[in-house]
Amino acid sequence: MEDDFEAGTVKKFMFVNRKPPYGTVYALEVLEMVLISAAFDQDVHIAFLDDGIYQIKKGQDTKDLGMKNFSPTYRALEGYDIEKLFVERECLEERGLSEDDLLVPVEVISRAEMGKLMAEMDVVLTA
Amino acid sequence: MSTLHTVNKSPFERSNLQACLGHAQNGDSVLLIEDAVFAAIAGNTFAPKLADAAQDIKLFVLGPDLKARGMDPAKVVDGVNIIDYEGFVDLAAASSTIHSWL
Amino acid sequence: MAYEVNGKSIEADEEGFLVNINDWNEELAGLVAKDEGVDMTPEHWEVVNFLREYYAEYQIAPAVRVLTKAIAKKMGPDKGNNKYLYELFPYGPGKQACKIAGLPKPTGCV
């Protein structure tokens, strides 16, 4: 794999978010990893499924918790040329949410389609 | 005296809330905090279980945790009361035992 | 380390980045710039203010590439290029301008 990077091969990367924000540090850590990955000019995909969907829920306000609200940073991804964001439809439905509840433009796909997309990737990182 | 049960895990990821509701006694209080607050929003697949539990158990959800996660207080399931940190303290003081389902 | 402004001590990390972004003010920015050997002109302030607006909107300090592109979009290609920005901030618009603007070190910047 290192040789490929040296040769400038572009790989398909997918970061899979399955955890909600704030309760644990996973969501923020993945977001930082995504931002850093942008420097390597790879083909980056981000998937939100299960509770990961809550990361991009509109209207987050953490003032009372004394924690940083990092949800606006997902809107910066476009400026980093990371525009392939996918959300699993079944997961939205299970949580009583719809695409309008999300703070960034995403492509909503089915669980079956998500599985296929994952299979097309060279590297998948899930947290 | 009654027990205050606190749950801080999402019902979609862990079975903590399910287990808590299955063991809480009539008259006990269950408080949803941190990632457990997602259970309290109407329209999710776990909500009917909360509505059932509300018949015998007093259900609460911590407002600041809802707000942090962008969850609309107006969409909280009927029978679940929103409380703040002070309410949490009052609830703890009024209970003989506290059981944290971590 | 810490900066002293008007008899008030403002906390910073060992590299001089502010611990709390809300401690920032223009006077402090001038002091940080002096430490960095940067003589603040209206052009410097333009970039520093842009960074503060970017942070307010997205809650991160942008990578240099992203900053350059965003400045080009807002102020035109004459300013949105590496040469212009490095002339203003010789040690890097990411690191140096962010420090003056009171922002954290850009993510992924070592």
* B38: nearest CB among A58, A64, A95: A95
Contact B68 A67 (CB under 8 A): yes
pLDDT score of A3: 53
Residues in CB range of B52: below 8 A, 6 or more apart: none
Chain B environment of A89 (Cβ under 8 Å): none
Query: What domains are defined for chain B?
Result: 3-101 (3.40.1260.10)
Angle subtended by helix axes C64-75 and C42-58, to nearest 10? 110
Where does residue C97 rank: exposed (0-12), middle (13-18), buried (19+ CB within 10 A)? buried
pLDDT score of A30: 97
3-state secondary structure of C57: helix
Q: Are C62 and C70 in contact (CB under 8 A)?
A: yes
Q: How far apart are CA A97 and CA A90, in angstroms?
A: 10
Contact C70 A79 (CB under 8 A): yes
Q: Are A56 and A105 in contact (CB under 8 A)?
A: no
Q: What does residue A7 show for φ and ψ, rounded to 5 degrees?
A: -80, 0
Q: How far apart are CA B93 and CA B21, in angstroms?
A: 21
pLDDT score of A7: 62
pLDDT one-digit tens code per residue, A15-42: 999 999 999 999 999 999 999 999 899 9
| Bridge partner residues of A13 (DSSP) | A44, A123
Q: Are B60 and B87 in contact (CB under 8 A)?
A: yes
Query: What domains are defined for chain C?
Result: 2-100 (1.10.10.370)
Say yes or no to pLDDT of A5 above 80: no
Say yes or no to pLDDT of B3 above 60: yes
Say yes or no to pLDDT of A1 above 60: no
Region A76-85: what's the mean pLDDT?
Answer: 96
Rounded to the nearest integer, the mean pLDDT of chain C is 93
pLDDT score of B33: 98
Q: How far apart are CA C86 and CA C68, in angstroms?
A: 10
Say yes or no to pLDDT of A9 above 90: no
Pairing of strands A84-88, C8-11: unpaired
Contact C59 A79 (CB under 8 A): no
Rounded to the nearest integer, the mean pLDDT of chain A is 94
pLDDT score of B50: 95
pLDDT score of C106: 83
pLDDT score of A81: 95
Percentage with pLDDT > 90 across chain A: 90
Query: Which residues of C are marked as active site?
Result: 109
pLDDT score of B1: 75
pLDDT one-digit tens code per residue, A101-124: 999 999 999 999 999 999 999 999
- B43 CB within 8 Å of a chain A CB: yes
What chains are in contact with C, requiring at least 3 Cβ pairs below 8 Å? Answer: A
Classify domain A14-126 by CATH number. Answer: 3.40.1260.10
**C-alpha triplet A122, A126, A127: angle, nearest 5°:** 160
Touching pair B, C by Cβ (3+ pairs < 8 Å): no
Contact A94 B45 (CB under 8 A): yes
Region B16-44: what's the mean pLDDT?
Answer: 97
* A75: nearest CB among C58, C65, C108: C58
Say yes or no to pLDDT of A4 above 60: no
Percentage with pLDDT > 90 across chain C: 86
